Chain A
Amino acid sequence: MMKNPANEYKRFQNTVAMTVTLITFGMLFGTLFLGYFLARFNAPTWPPVEIENMPKLLPFLSTLVMALSSYTYFKMEKEEEKRKTFWWATFGLGILFLVLQYVLWNALAASGILVSNGQVPSMVYGFTWLHAGHIVVALMTLLYLGRYIFRRPEELTEAKLVNVGKFWHFLGVIWLLMYLMLFVL
């Protein structure tokens, strides 16, 4: 990757844009968390009866997968010679995360926790749907990046690599917060 003032300035511009973008996504998820806290503080008991049978292992595995994908992305940024390998690893882990989410939703339904059972099951389903939707968008940005990594490496700028990474890591942090709120605490 070439370093010249134009590229540096482009990176600065993209950093500003990505920061604003992440703030907007942060506000969307922040609103969901606000709803969660209002429900939790207003509930007479916690956890409510309807989430007693909540699966524990699947969300934990999802968290591990998400953390691992953040790590592989980090390595993709740092290790230029193994960039393609780590791209595949990150993309594969992203797909695996979506599969685990699908299995989780089926497991929830199988254990009698349906989407219409109340506010907490609504949160578990609704929040994870929205997060999964964002993962799909993140996978699309990875594909966009893959175009440069595999076909036009001379046009791959640090700004592209860093900004897609920011979005990927951001979704990891959001998932961690969701995992703690919905399945652990």
Chain B
Amino acid sequence: MAVAARNAELTIARRRHAGMGIFFLAVALVIVGIFARTTPAGLDTTFGLNPARLTTAMRLPDLVLPSLPSLWFLAAVCAFLGGWQVAKGFRSTGWALGVVAFAFVAAFLIWAARGKSMNLVGMLSSSLLRAIPIALGAFCGILCERAAVINIAIEGMMLTAAFMAAWVGSITHNLWIALMAAMLSSAFLAAILAVLSIKFKVDQIVSGTVINIFATGLTSYLSAKFLQVYQNLNNPGIFKPISLPLLSRIPIIGPVFFEHNIIVYITFLLLILIHVMLFYTRWGLRTRAVGEHPKAADTLGVNVFRTRYINVIMGGLVAGIGGAFFTIGSVGRFDEVMTAGKGFIGLAAMIFGKWTPFGAFGSSIIFGFADSLQTKLQILQVPIPSEFLLMAPYLVTMVVLAGVIGRAIPPAADGQPYEKQ
């Protein structure tokens, strides 16, 4: 029995390995068959490496690549990795997947901007901005799910926080108070989620859905009743970008990462903080124990309920920052249902990033990139409908979740209410 089971497992593992290799080969085929085939020889692709507003000390020359040879090169890289994976198999496939993903994106950009020029720095910078709320949502998800509480209410929490930030900011004319209000309102919803799913043991997906519906209804209601009637209630102002000294002067990296507003920097800090706390502190160990095996944790004296309450509420605070970003971090006004599913994408980024802060952040950047790409493509008049590009993150999430390329394994006790015995 046991041997057969292990053999079956091995076969599955092998098949998955081969599957990933075939996936790499398919990417190579797409690059050759679609991108290279529709690129005439002799064209160059120009990537601008300077920000639109020039703040770096020196101006970098544009990066000019010959389109067709570059495409062939990238295809060759993917084909080589794919062939190797099918024939022998890499021990760890993470980096290979990363290289192939990068090659594909690079190929796509080279193809999209063939014979034209595209400002790479500007695009990466806007990708980062679009990734911020997704990443904060994903962090919220990590904090909750590492303690085994599924939080699909991130969307509703962010929406409420966005609303509160706009409202309180307009009344107090103080963005910091607005940010606090956003965080507290989101944490309040998180507390409701926690009580419903921990104390009343309501199905966690049902309670999350409730909060989403409630938040959508309440913010739209109050917005229609007040914000749209009294415009001065919907004019909170925004956090201004801050150029970090020295860091912002680094070419390319500086303008992409270090010329943003405070919420972006808070996100960087949270990324490191959550990573360190989750994997190197007592709190993190307890959290993970509660998420993987609550009964064992309980036996060892960890208060399962308290840990879950604290984590969910902390998640709410983090999602609140993400919500505030929509209003006082970017456009400076609240619109009904303005989060437009970013909370759900955050959840997807969390799964894609395998419940780790860095993984989730990286996935958020990918989603943000796809998001900002579609506006660029319209400018470049690429013959792909923008809708298909926007579908990409959702499709990728489904593919990842299905375990075709890599497997996403949630904390073992995720979603199960704990009954103390």
**Does B associate with A?**
no
Residues of B within 8 A of A (CB): none
